[in-house]
Amino acid sequence: MLSEKNRGEAMRLIQTVGKSCVQCHKNFKLSAKVKFHFPDFSGFSLEDPVTGLDYSLKDYMKAMTQDMKLVRIYFLDGKKEKARKAGFNFVKRFEGLTQMCSDCHTGKKSEEIYFGVEAEKHITALKEAIVDGSLVRINKHLKWIGQNNCAKCHNVHETTYHLREKFGK
């Protein structure tokens, strides 16, 4: 049994330790959360549906982004065949990415938000616009996909990727 004097000393020591814990949590909460609670995508690779090669996630994203840009550029330059190829490569890569994402995002709600009916509607309309060569419709559907698929994922995963780089692995 602790005496009153020992109890007071014990409480003082507990508070000292507690202050240390609080200070450390305050200073390192974000870096610890990023390091230990978000996936590290640096080791991820995917089979590219266009080339059949394994790409790092970073290289896969670069290829998909490049296709997204090229479909517009080639149509503006009048290179319709190259534009169609880039457009369909983008679609293949986008659809391939959804398979990787669904490995972690398994719930019905996740599926609906990221790859649901609305996204499928815009992918289908994008394919039709690519075949028709309608740059206005291509831009409309790429814009929707960019704002409603790419941006949502980038806001979560790309931000933490950059934070992880900043805080170190």
Domains of the chain, residue spans = 1-37, 41-167
Looking up tokens 């169609």 gives: 84
Query: Position 132: which residue type?
Result: D
CA distance 67 to 73: 10
Render pLDDT for 97-114 as a digit per residue (tens, 0 to 9): 877 777 777 777 777 777
Q: Give pTM, 2 decimals.
A: 0.75
Q: 19 vs 147, which has greater pLDDT?
A: 147
The pLDDT of 79-101, averaged and rounded, is 92
**Is the pLDDT confidence value at 71 over 80?**
yes
Render pLDDT for 120-159 as a digit per residue (tens, 0 to 9): 999 999 999 999 999 999 999 999 999 988 888 888 788 8
What percentage of the chain exceeds 70 in pLDDT?
Answer: 91
For residue 112, count other CB atoms closer than 10 A to its CB: 12
Averaged confidence pLDDT in the chain: 85
Q: What dotted CATH number matches 41-167? A: 1.20.120
